[in-house]
Every structure is written in structure tokens, then in C-alpha cells.
Amino acid sequence: MRPAPVVPARNTRTVVAASADPGLQPGPVPAIPGVRLAGVRAGIRYPDRLDLVAVELAEGSETCAVFTQNAFCAAPVEIARRHLGAASPRYLLINAGNANAGTGGAGREAALACCRALARRRGISLEQVLPFSTGVIGEALPVDSIGKAMPQLLARLDAEAWPDAARGILTTDTKAKSAWAELCVNGKSLRIAGFAKGAGMIRPDMATMLAFVFTDAGLSRSQLDALLREQVEHSFNRITVDGDTSTNDACVLCATGAGPKLAESDGTNWNRFREALGGVFRHLAQAIIRDAEGAGKFITVRVSEGGSSSECLQVAYAVAESPLVKTACFASDPNWGRILAAVGRAGVEELDPGSLRIFLGGVPVVAHGEPHGNYSEEAGLAAMAGTDIEIDIRLGRGDSEETVWTSDLGHEYVRINADYRT
């Protein structure tokens, strides 16, 4: 499956790392000045997989993050939130294979013990380490295994180790997900790069399961926070696999300040940077959907002519998370009645069926709440046959528009989740 294209700003190049799709050969993610990474095998759940990652940030870097809205948030989420409010992070410590969620006080102490092991070796405060975990919920984090791997992990820190970091955070993902962009600002290079993981339990209320984006731009904490929230809202907050919000969701944006400084007052460069940053965020979010558990289809649900953004999202998520719509997409079946039914139960007040129009891949299917006069089953089948499917819903109520990306639902999703702990 080919990733959706990232449209670059003028004088900008945005490149999807080859690890995100075997068919692309753009070369490796470049170094971001002020960032070093490493990934090692700690044997957290599987003996022969990279599963422990560290990211080192240069002193003076700014870091912002958003976390899951799930009330049963994991221990590392609690600790990372606390540490982020107490100090400027120097290290991110990420493990896969164990979520350290639903583990109570023992889980919090385990997360702190791992942070402490890194902090002592680097001579920094405990609060300067942010922990992140992903994997099975309800099992004790193997602190001893992580501690034993710490010397090797720190010894391998390298500015070029993006592939190891991207692979080391995966669980049921089938491929690593990376993206990067480079701009020229006032004659100087400015870079953005990130990696993410997802696969299942994806309906973010802030981000996806784990996503990390870095830039060498010179940005203040307030600028960084505003950019993070803006970009998350239109990328990771617009994807869903199964409607489940994870206990461990986190999205982090770091700026090392080693490159050109940016200010909103410099409208052209600021907007170019925002566009490039948005391209990286959107690519990572869409890559998660393309690699969703058992996914064979990448589905874009676009809802327009809504009375408000919120009602467009109501409709989009009702369609994107409908098991009947998703299974129809899996079968390449243009069963538009399932889409119509999902729109009708989305909860939009005073929705007029007579104003509703639905298109599949540009093919008019429903007009004024009934079958379009020129619709044919052959045209519908053709619209559903490819790996990318577009569902275009027009409510006829206003000018608002929203887009959500989702995947189909088939046998492999059930198998993966039935066998997840075995």
C-alpha cells in the first residue's frame, strides 16, 4: 500500500523514510542537530526484537507533549506528565511489549525505577527523563531487564539511529513509520523528523499510541505547545482503527534550538514551517492507518456542508467506526445502505435526509436521501476495488468540513487481537 503523498511547501522537501513503505527509496532520515537515538533488545516480551529506545535531547531543548484522555492512563503517562511539568527533559525512554498499565502503585514505581537508572548514569535529575510504554496491559514491567540493557542502550546513542528507534517502539505494527522534512530558512537548513507506532486500539483523543517528532528550529515553549496542539488536532486526532482509546497514548514534539529561530511575525517562514510540520504529522498519522491490524484498505471519510465542525466529526466517526461499513470495505462491497444508516444514527439534530448526498470515489451514490438516478452497481464496485477508498458525505446544512481516516475490518484483525497475549 502506497502512503498518501505529503505535499511540500515551496523550497521544502518532505521525504517519507524507506522504512515506512518498502516501495520508496528516498534514503535515510537525516540527523537532527541536538538529537541522538538508540534502540536495543532488552527481552521485555520477545527475545529477538528491538524493544527499548532512548532519545537524548541537547541541553536547552524545549519539549511539549499531549497524552491519552483515557481515565485509566498508564503509569508512564502519569510519570511523564509529572516530570514534564517539573523540569526540561533531556531523555525519552520508550519500551515496547509491556504497557505498564493497570499496574497500580507498583507500576508507577517501576516506571520511576527505569527513569532513575538512566538518570544516574547520565548525572541528571530523575525528572529530566520521560518514560513511555506500549504493549500488553496489566503485566508487571520487567525493570531488571530494562536496567541490564541500559548501559548498552546509552552507549549506542547516535544521531543516525532513526531506523532502530522507529523499529524499537513497535508492537503489532508490521513496519516502522518515519517521515522527515527539510527547509531553507534565511540561508540555513531547518529539519523536522519523527517516528510513530500504532496498529490497534486506535481512536485517539489527543494522539496515537506513541508518536515522537523533533526539529532543530529555535522555538519557545509556548510556540511549541501551540504548534503541537494544532498539528495533533488535524492528524492524530483524525484517525481511528477500532474506536478504542489506548491507556498509553502520547505525542511528543521537541525543538533543540540548534537551527534557525522562528517567530510568528516572520509570516512566510513561519507558515512554511507549519506546513512542513503538518506534512510530517499527517504522514505519520496516515501511516498508522495503512498499517492497522489486518488492514487492506485505507479509507478517507470526508464530511462536508455541515452546520459545524463537531457535527461533521460526529458523522465521520459514526461511519469510520461502523463495523458494517468497515467490513463492507474489506469485501470491496459498495453497500451504501450501511453508510446511510451510520449517518442517520450519528446524532446530528434535525438532520434532513432530503439534503443528504453520498459519493464513493467520486461516484454519485445517494442524492436527496435516495439512490442517485445515474448510479450503477458496476460503478460502485469499481470505486471500492482499490486499496484506497473515499467516502464523501455532504450534509447540505452549512459550510463546515472535516476528514477522518480509517481502515477496513477483516479476519486478520480478529486473529491478531484474539491471539495478542498468547
Q: Which residues are the active-site residues?
A: 208
CB 93 within 8 A of CB 41: no
In angstroms, the CA 273 to CA 267 distance is 10
202-409-323 Cα angle (round to 5):
85
Give CA–CA dist 322/329, Å, rounded: 11
Residues 6+ apart with CB under 8 A from 375: 363, 364, 365, 366
Residues 62 and 396: their CA atoms lie apart, in Å, by 44
Q: Which of the 8 DSSP states describes residue 9?
A: P
Long-range contacts of 370-379 (CB under 8 A, 24+ apart): 377/334
User: Residues with Cβ < 8 Å from 169, sequence gap 6 or more?
Assistant: 53, 94, 96, 132, 134, 195, 197, 210
| Residue 65: how many other CB atoms lie within 10 Å | 24
35, 55 contact by CB (below 8 A): yes
Pairing of strands 62-67, 388-394: unpaired
- The cell for 364 is 454519485
3 state SS of 6: coil
Half-sphere exposure of 247 (CA within 13 A, CB side): 18
8 Å CB contact between 210 and 94 = yes
- Kind and range of the H or E run holding 298: strand 298-306
81: cell is 506528565
SS3 386: coil
Q: Are strands 52-57 and 35-40 parallel, antiparallel or unpaired?
A: antiparallel
CA angle 251/257/260 to nearest 5° reads: 115
